[in-house]
Every structure is written in structure tokens, then in C-alpha cells.
Amino acid sequence: MIEYNYEEEKVVALYFANLLENSKAKEIITLGSVSSREEATILSKFFWEMINKSAEGNITLPCDGSSQYWTEKLYNSLGGYLEKSGYEKEWNIEVDNA
């Protein structure tokens, strides 16, 4: 299961999944886990899509704090989860592509 240090991390991730209309990322975040390399790649790509969207500005999050603050937290939570779950390669490919 994806372990978040703060419950707001999941709220922010779901907010961006809805904003980006990424139903697969929303499903993964809601479920709290990935079950394949394909899903690991989807979640990894979603993270960077979220970063790009937040960089556009004018983002009103459903919780206190900036999008930069929460995406930094999510970087650790999502990346750490994928690495611990054996999907380090998929995560690192998308980090390199960012």
C-alpha cells in the first residue's frame, strides 16, 4: 500500500487526478497500490503530469499549503512506494524523462 506521511497527500493526488482527468491514476491512488509494471509507469507519469500542471499556477488545492509543498511530499511517498514494491526502474525512467 502507498504510505503517505500526511493524509493531505492522497487528497492532493486525487485532486490532480481529477483535474487532469486521469481515471487510471485516480483508480491506482484510490486503491493504494499498483499491480503491474504498466500501472507503475502510469503512476510515475502521472506524478510528472501533476508537477507540470502545478507549475502552470492558479491551482487552488483542497487543503492548506502550496502545490510545490505537497508535490515534494508526494515525490517521496509515490517514489518510495514504487521503489519498495519493485518498480524502481519504471519510476527512474520517468524521473529521467522529466
Span 11-59, pLDDT tens digits? 999 999 999 999 999 999 999 999 999 999 999 999 999 999 999 988 8
How do the domains of the chain map onto residue ranges? Answer: 7-97
Helices 7-19, 67-84: crossing angle, 10 deg rounding: 100
Three cell numbers, residue 95: 524521473
Per-residue model confidence as pLDDT tens digits over 62-75: 999 999 999 999 99
pTM, two decimals, is 0.94
Residue 68 to residue 51: CA distance in whole angstroms: 8
